[in-house]
Amino acid sequence: MKEAIADILKNNQLSITDNRLKILEMFQHSEKALSHADIESLSGKLFDRVTIYRTLQTFVDKGIIHTIPTADNSVMYALCKEACSEGHHHDDHVHFLCETCGTTYCLDNVNIPEVNIPKGFSIHQTNVLVNGVCKNCK
Q: Domains in the chain, please, with CATH? A: 2-132 (1.10.10.10)
Q: Average of pLDDT values for 87-104? A: 76
Look at residue 31 in the predicted model and tell me its pLDDT. 84
Cα-only R_g, the chain: 16
Confidence of residue 92 (pLDDT cuts 50, 70, 90): low
33 in Cβ contact with 74 (< 8 Å): no
Q: What is the pLDDT of residue 90?
A: 53
User: What φ, ψ does residue 132 adopt, rounded to 5°?
Assistant: 175, -150
Confidence at residue 104, expressed as pLDDT on a 0 to 100 scale: 85
pLDDT (0 to 100) of residue 121: 94
pTM beyond 0.85:
no
Average pLDDT over residues 39-44: 86
CA distances from 124 to 76, 96, 103, 108, 136 (A): 19, 21, 26, 19, 33
> How far is residue 135's CA from residue 138's CA, in Å, rounded to a whole number?
5
Confidence of residue 24 (pLDDT cuts 50, 70, 90): very high
